[in-house]
Amino acid sequence: MHNTNDTTTQTAKGDKPAFRAWLTQDRPDGTTLWTEVSGLWPTKSATGYSGRISNPITATAGRLVILPATINPAAEPATEG
């Protein structure tokens, strides 16, 4: 059973997340728009990850992609295909 009271292990505001959640949207020109949704921190029980959405997302369609926090696809050059 999932424990909804399980909080993250983030203890200080400066702690870096282990992963980041991204919303991707394919554009008609073949490129992909990457929008960061949230950082993800391990839960105290170490059975999952938790994050908060602080900015509203206007997209109604797309893919959710979870990547290590050290990777920033939004900063990389756009690729086609």
33-36, long-range: CB within 8 Å, 24+ apart, which pairs? 34/65, 34/73, 34/74, 35/59, 35/74, 36/74
Q: Dihedral, CA atoms, 61, 24, 45, 4, nearest 10 degrees?
A: -20
CB 18 within 8 A of CB 66: no
At 4-57, the pLDDT tens digits run 445 555 544 558 999 999 999 999 999 999 999 999 999 999 999 999 987 777
Instruction: Give the global pTM.
Output: 0.71
Closest by CA to 49, choosing from 41, 57, 58, 37, is 41
Tell me: the pLDDT tens digits for 46-71?
999 999 987 777 777 899 999 999 99
